Amino acid sequence: MRAWQPTASIELLNQRAGIIRRIRAFFEKRNIIEVETPVLSGATVTNPNIISIEAYFKRIGSLENTIFYLQTSPEYAMKRLLAAGMGSIFQITKSFRQGEIGRLHNPEFSMLEWYRLGFDHHQLMDEVKELLLALGFPEANRMSVSEIYQAHLGIDPHSASLAELKACAAEYIQPLPVLSENKNNYLDLLFTHMIEPKLGLSAPLFIYDFPISQASLAKIREEDPPVASRFELYFKGVELANGFHELQNAEEQRTRFEKELDYRAEQGIPPVPIDEHLLAALDYGLPDCAGVALGLDRLVMLALGQEAISNVLSFGFLNA
């Protein structure tokens, strides 16, 4: 293949276009409105696991650069539309993240994201399942995060102590990487090494009700133990989607953002500005809703039986 040529075959690009047409038809049938939001913004996510790509803007006649960020997802801007009264919405857009380039990763990628007013995370899982069926995927199953860790490792992620998680990691993972003394770090390590590659091998699998330390932007339900109303979707060991029954409390969201910034500082990760527009929208009033972000390139890759997302991109990053 010459460097100027597409990384995907013309046949696969035509099939990709067909999948995107079917996705849009799925939402049109449900009267969910397609929207567009900015790709370039003055703020970005504080999540220490997601590093934004910076962009520098200079006004004509000015000597100063202003830092903007290529958005990692359209989530914050879409929530501002929800608070303004837009109703249930979806978007297919480009997103950008620093990090690795490989079979499942491209710094520039396509995201399908949607929000449903009046839904909780279980109702949204039902709708995601309906979309998958419409695209030819098998019927999806679902298990709680607690059931997943119990089945694969014999531990309860909600109640396990740091010492128990470290002992479990030492038993299964060699050499054991050096991690900071944080339960989430060991939960993530055990999940990525021992659980994730085994998820959804024969049919898509939703996992739901995460530990509250992994709530991100989800509501927390005060049960015994408390759980975060969050889900993820896997198929053939590939993470496809991340969804929430969305947090509506601006004060709680600010606290979570500030904790993430503190952790970034501890780990030497550069700080980023908190999205004050999002917090103002939450303070104004986000309607009760659930939302999900789905990796479109990965979805197309799996739908077309391919092994790498570059096979379904017109030009992979190294050929861009």
Query: Is it the case that residue 280 has pLDDT exceeding 80?
Result: yes
Q: Please give the model's pTM, rounded to 2 decimal places.
A: 0.95
Contact 281, 83 (CB under 8 A): yes
Lowest mean pLDDT: which of 166-180, 228-242, 293-307? 166-180
pLDDT classification of 61: cutoffs 50, 70, 90: confident
Which residues, other chains included, contact 4 with Cβ-Cβ below 8 Å and sequence gap of 6+? none
Query: Is it the case that residue 75 has pLDDT exceeding 90?
Result: yes
Contact 161, 181 (CB under 8 A): no
User: Regarding beta strands 227-235 and 205-210, do their DSSP bridges make them parallel or antiparallel, or are they unpaired?
Assistant: antiparallel
pLDDT classification of 181: cutoffs 50, 70, 90: confident
- Cα–Cα distance for residue pair 131/133, rounded to 1 Å: 5
Higher pLDDT, 69 or 100: 69
- Cα–Cα distance for residue pair 189/210, rounded to 1 Å: 15
Query: Region 34-59: what's the mean pLDDT?
Result: 95
- Cα–Cα distance for residue pair 148/98, rounded to 1 Å: 29
Query: Region 213-232: what's the mean pLDDT?
Result: 94
Average pLDDT, the chain: 95
pLDDT classification of 60: cutoffs 50, 70, 90: confident
pLDDT classification of 98: cutoffs 50, 70, 90: very high
Query: Region 183-212: what's the mean pLDDT?
Result: 96
Query: Region 288-305: what's the mean pLDDT?
Result: 98
Query: Is it the case that residue 87 has pLDDT exceeding 80?
Result: yes
Angle at 45 between CA 42 and CA 49, to 5 degrees: 140
**What's the pLDDT at 4?**
92
Question: What is the third-level CATH fold of 10-140+203-319?
Answer: BirA Bifunctional Protein; domain 2 (3.30.930)
pLDDT classification of 55: cutoffs 50, 70, 90: very high
